[in-house]
């Protein structure tokens, strides 16, 4: 009879597959949020022949030295990993998580692996787990990526020629382009990383705004010409990329020089009109991003209005209570 544990995060068939593919009961227990003893009980319940204690051999291929040599795809995968990857604290394991299966398959192929993907049945997220002490050490020692990377990651050294590929990878993991196409954002938990990202984007002439709220740091850019130039830069000589975000960019076939960012009037009357338009749109959509896009402002401007304009703040929070 199969034993149950409501904390378990992997299905039984996933646990058995991981074990048969060479993962240890301790590693599987960590991924499943249960004890190694519980994993061994599942294997016994399903008559799975257990390996001798301490034995392990690689079943799947992997280019363990991949992160030692720069290329446009390596830079992309490194940026993507900083956004959507993890380094195990206790085991020689790294992994990626993404809802779009094909991009993980492409990354896996680029890493020279034939490791199968796993899907979390609760969230629908696909996961690529790779067991390699060499690859884990390279990510930590060469590129500075730690198990606690979400809060303390530093912006790694990236050769100038590969910087657009690295930022495209990070954008595909932790970036967004909003529905109407003229607002791009990045989100992260490390102020150090996001500040250096802001510096690199400003150095290339992009108009960006950095905001910090609680534990989340966000970086925004808006404007038709600004977004088209960003698109041209990150997708120049592209290798790997996430199709959904690529296709969301507007003006693909237009020359950036023919486009103009909207110049908003800054008179008191014009600003008051934009605030009223924001409130009206928010009352209809209950979406801050939608209201910002409609009015043509950044989220940084919205946060400043909340902080500095008492009447605007009161009207906004009154709608949230309705």
State the CATH architecture for 1-57: Orthogonal Bundle (1.10)
Residue 150 pLDDT greater than 50, yes or no: yes
DSSP letter at 63?
Answer: -
Whether pLDDT at 273 is above 50: yes
Give yes or no for residue 263 having a pLDDT over 70.
no
Q: What band does 1 get if pLDDT is binned at 50, 70 and 90?
A: very low
When mean pLDDT is compared across 30-34, 36-40, 285-289, 317-321, the lowest value belongs to 285-289
For the packed helices 299-308 and 310-321, what is the interaxial angle rounded to 10 degrees?
A: 100
Query: Which CATH superfamily does the domain covering 162-258 fall into?
Result: Homing endonucleases (3.10.28.10)
Structure confidence at residue 57 (pLDDT): 56
Mean pLDDT of the chain: 86
Cα-to-chain-centroid distance, residue 191 = 16
Banded pLDDT at 264 (limits 50, 70, 90): low
Residues 233 and 256 sit within 8 Å (Cβ to Cβ): no
Average the pLDDT over 215-240 and give the result: 90
**Contacts of 200 by beta carbon, 8 Å cutoff, 6+ apart:** 155, 163, 167
| pLDDT at 66 (0 to 100) | 97
Read off the tokens for 106.
């492409």
Query: Given this model, what pLDDT does residue 256 score?
Result: 78
pLDDT at 252: 84
Helices (H), 46-111: 72-84, 101-110
Q: Where in the chain do CATH 3.10.28.10 domains reside?
A: 66-146, 162-258
- Looking at 2.40.110.10, 1.10.3730.10, 3.10.28.10, 3.30.2130.10, the CATH number of the domain 66-146 comes to 3.10.28.10
Within the chain, all domains assigned CATH 1.10.10 are found at 1-57
Nearest CA among 7, 29, 8 for reference residue 18: 29
Q: What is the pLDDT of residues 278-307, one digit of tens each?
A: 898 888 878 887 788 777 787 778 888 988
pTM of full prediction above 0.85 = no
Q: Tell me the angle at which helices 310-321 and 268-285 cross, rounded to the nearest 10 degrees.
A: 10
Q: Which residues pair with 130 in a beta bridge?
A: 94
Mean pLDDT value across residues 106-117: 94
- How confident is the model over 50-60, as a mean pLDDT? 63
Average pLDDT value for residue range 19-36: 83
- Residue 160: which of 116, 194, 204 has the closest Cα? 204
Rounded to whole angstroms, how far apart are CA atoms 73 and 107? 9
């Amino acid at each position: 009879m199969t034993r149950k544990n409501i904390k378990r995060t992997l299905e039984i068939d996933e646990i058995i597959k991981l074990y048969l593919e060479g993962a240890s009961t301790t590693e599987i227990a960590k991924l499943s949020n249960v004890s190694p003893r519980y994993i061994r009980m599942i294997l016994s319940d399903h008559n799975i022949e257990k390996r001798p204690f301490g034995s392990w051999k690689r079943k799947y291929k992997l280019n363990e030295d991949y992160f030692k040599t720069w290329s446009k795809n390596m830079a992309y995968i490194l940026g993507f990993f900083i956004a959507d990857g993890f380094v195990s604290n206790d085991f020689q394991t790294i992994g990626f998580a993404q809802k779009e299966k094909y991009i993980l398959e492409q990354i896996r192929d680029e890493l020279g692996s034939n490791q199968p993907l796993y899907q979390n049945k609760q969230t629908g997220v696909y996961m690529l787990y790779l067991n390699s002490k060499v690859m884990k050490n390279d990510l930590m020692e060469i590129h500075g990526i730690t198990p606690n990377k979400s809060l303390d990651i530093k912006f790694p050294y990236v050769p100038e020629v590969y910087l657009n590929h690295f930022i495209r990878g990070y954008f595909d993991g932790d970036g967004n382009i909003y529905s109407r196409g003229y607002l791009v954002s990045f989100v992260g938990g490390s102020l150090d990383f996001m500040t250096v990202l802001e510096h690199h984007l400003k150095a290339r002439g992009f108009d960006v705004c950095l905001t910090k709220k609680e534990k989340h740091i966000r970086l925004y850019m808006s404007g038709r010409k600004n977004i088209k130039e960003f698109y041209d830069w990150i997708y120049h000589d592209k290798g790997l990329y996430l199709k959904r975000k690529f296709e969301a960019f507007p003006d693909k076939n237009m020359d950036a020089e023919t486009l103009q960012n909207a110049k908003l009037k800054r008179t008191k009357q014009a600003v008051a009109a934009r605030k009223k338009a924001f409130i009206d749109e928010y009352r209809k959509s209950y979406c801050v991003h939608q209201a910002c896009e409609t009015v043509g402002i950044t989220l940084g401007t919205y946060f400043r209005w909340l902080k500095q304009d008492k009447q605007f703040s009161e009207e906004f929070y009154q709608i949230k209570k309705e």
